[in-house]
Structure formats: structure tokens, C-alpha cells
């Protein structure tokens, strides 16, 4: 079935209430997650499990992030409506949909063509607008920089310099850094161009890979 339903809405509500109770995010973020039918981003065989706090395989050997991770990263990003946000690693487009529901102007990059095509279709079906690019997230999107916020949703071996330079003064980047497993890191840019970094906890994302050259 390719639509939302009271059963899925009920399961989604339970999941969001749990994520709120467990402190992953506050009401605003979870209300946005309530509006995004996560099951539609998955193959039909996974629909009935879509509102468990689990990651599932998507195309091109990638995964959709855990709902708790999407809630946590969205919360850490502290977005306000109208902000320019850059996402690295669109995947199936679920995190992107949540950010657009939070009212931001979203720019998102993915290096797997299949996933760019899929996520474009999904966001369009849901009536959500984003500027999508097929390309290498290590390079960011200089044409649209600077960004108020940058969210990286794949495990970065290091913090890419291009992304730091595309962050506005006062802007925040949330990025999982490390090989294998990662630490979630919050980076804020100061007026003098320096950065403040804070490690926030453990993370486990699929790796951020270099461009296929």
C-alpha cells in the first residue's frame, strides 16, 4: 500500500511519543516527524516495521537512519523556519523531509544516482521542496553557500574543509566523525572565523565516501 493510514499514523504517534519521553527531541521536531510517513520511504515489505526505532536497507546498499537519530540530529541542529540548511547524504530523503517540514530551505547532496532519483520522487509526492544535487558531499554546494546549518548524515572520516568554509558565522554543523563508528560533533563558527567543537555522543552511520573519480 502506497499511502498513509490511521494504523500507520497511530504507530507513528507511539514512536514520536517514545522519542519525546526518551529525550531525543522536543515537541517541534517530533511534530514534524509526525507529518512524515516514514513507511513510504521503505520497500513495502518493511512498511509494517517502519515505526520501530530501526534502520532498514534502502537502494544502493545504503540505509535509512534510525528515527531516534533523525530526531536527535534535527534537534541538535536548532533550526528556525527560513534557515538555509545543507544536508550531506540524502539517501531515501527521510531526514530531508523532516527538515523541510520544520520550515527550512533545504539543499541536499547524494552520491548515489539511484537515491537522488528516488528521493526526488518521494519529496515531490509529499509536496516538499528541496534543492537536490547528485554529487560529492565533501565539496558541499558552494553556489548556494553560506548556510545557517549543515547536517552530515554519513560517517565522515574527518570534517571536510569545504563544509567549514560554507558555514555562516554563528552557524552550526552537526557531523558524525570517525572511521567505523563515529562521535557526533557539533561545530559552531565564530565571528573571527574560528570554530568551537563539542563531542555529543556516539553515532553509527554508513561511511561518507569520496567521489567516484
Q: Catalytic residues, which ones?
A: 65
Q: Exactly one of 62, 74, 132, 182 binds ligand SAH (CB under 6 A); which one?
A: 62
132 binds ligand SAH (CB under 6 A): no
Give the pairing type, strands 105-110 and 131-134: parallel
Cβ distance to ligand SAH smaller for residue 179 or 196: 179
CA 63, distance to chain mean position in Å, is: 12
Which one of residues 18, 34, 53, 63 is an interface residue with ligand SAH (CB under 6 A)?
63
Helix residue ranges per DSSP H, the chain: 6-21, 27-34, 67-77, 94-101, 113-125, 161-165
Closest CA to 128 of 116, 140, 120: 120
**Could you say whether residue 88 binds ligand SAH (CB under 6 A)?**
yes
Q: What is the 3-state secondary structure (H, E, C) of 142-209?
A: HHHCCEEEEEECCEECCCCHHHHHCEEEEEEEEEEECCCCEEEEEEEECCCCCEEEEEEEEECCCECC
- Is the CB of 160 or the CB of 171 nearer to ligand SAH? 160
User: Is position 137 an interface residue for ligand SAH (rule: CB under 6 A)?
Assistant: yes
Which one among 138, 167, 178, 187 touches ligand SAH, defined by CB under 6 A?
138
Cell 570534517 appears where? 159
Tell me if 89 contacts ligand SAH by CB under 6 A.
Answer: yes
By the rule CB under 6 A, 204 interacts with ligand SAH: no
The answer to whether 154 contacts ligand SAH (rule: CB under 6 A) is: yes
Select 83 or 98, whichever has its Cβ closest to ligand SAH.
98
Binding mask 93-112 for ligand SAH (x = CB under 6 A): -xx-------------xxxx
Judged by CB, which is closer to ligand SAH: 11, or 90? 90
Q: How far is CA 90 from the centre of its chain?
A: 7
Tell me if 148 contacts ligand SAH by CB under 6 A: no
Does residue 84 touch ligand SAH according to CB under 6 A? Answer: no
Q: What gap in Å lies between CA 134 and CA 90, rounded to an integer?
A: 10
Q: CA 174, CA 74: separation in Å to the nearest integer?
A: 9
Residues that bind ligand SAH (CB under 6 A): 62-65, 88-92, 94-95, 109-112, 115, 136-138, 153-154, 206, 208-209
Amino acid at each position: 500500500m502506497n499511502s498513509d493510514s490511521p494504523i500507520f499514523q497511530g504507530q507513528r504517534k507511539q514512536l514520536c511519543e517514545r522519542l519525546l519521553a526518551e529525550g531525543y527531541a522536543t515537541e517541534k521536531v517530533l511534530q514534524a516527524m509526525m507529518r512524515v510517513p516514514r513507511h513510504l520511504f521503505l520497500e513495502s515489505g518493511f512498511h509494517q516495521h517502519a515505526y520501530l526505532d530501526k534502520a532498514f536497507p534502502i537502494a544502493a546498499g545504503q540505509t535509512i537512519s534510525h528515527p531516534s537519530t533523525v530526531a536527535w540530529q534535527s534537534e541538535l541542529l536548532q533550526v528556525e523556519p527560513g534557515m538555509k540548511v545543507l544536508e550531506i547524504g540524502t539517501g531515501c530523503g527521510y531526514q530531508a523531509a523532516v527538515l523541510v517540514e520544520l520550515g527550512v530551505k533545504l539543499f541536499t547532496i547524494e552520491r548515489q544516482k539511484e537515491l537522488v532519483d528516488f528521493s526526488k520522487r518521494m519529496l515531490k509526492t509529499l509536496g516538499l521542496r528541496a534543492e537536490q544535487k547528485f554529487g560529492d558531499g565533501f565539496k558541499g554546494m558552494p553556489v548556494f553557500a553560506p548556510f545557517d546549518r549543515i547536517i552530515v548524515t554519513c560517517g565522515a572520516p574527518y570534517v571536510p574543509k569545504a563544509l567549514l568554509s560554507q558555514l555562516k558565522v554563528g552557524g552550526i554543523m552537526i557531523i558524525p566523525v570517525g572511521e567505523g563508528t563515529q562521535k557526533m560533533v557539533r561545530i559552531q563558527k565564530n565571528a573571527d572565523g574560528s570554530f568551537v567543537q563539542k563531542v555529543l555522543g556516539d553515532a553509527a552511520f554508513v561511511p561518507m565516501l569520496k567521489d567516484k573519480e
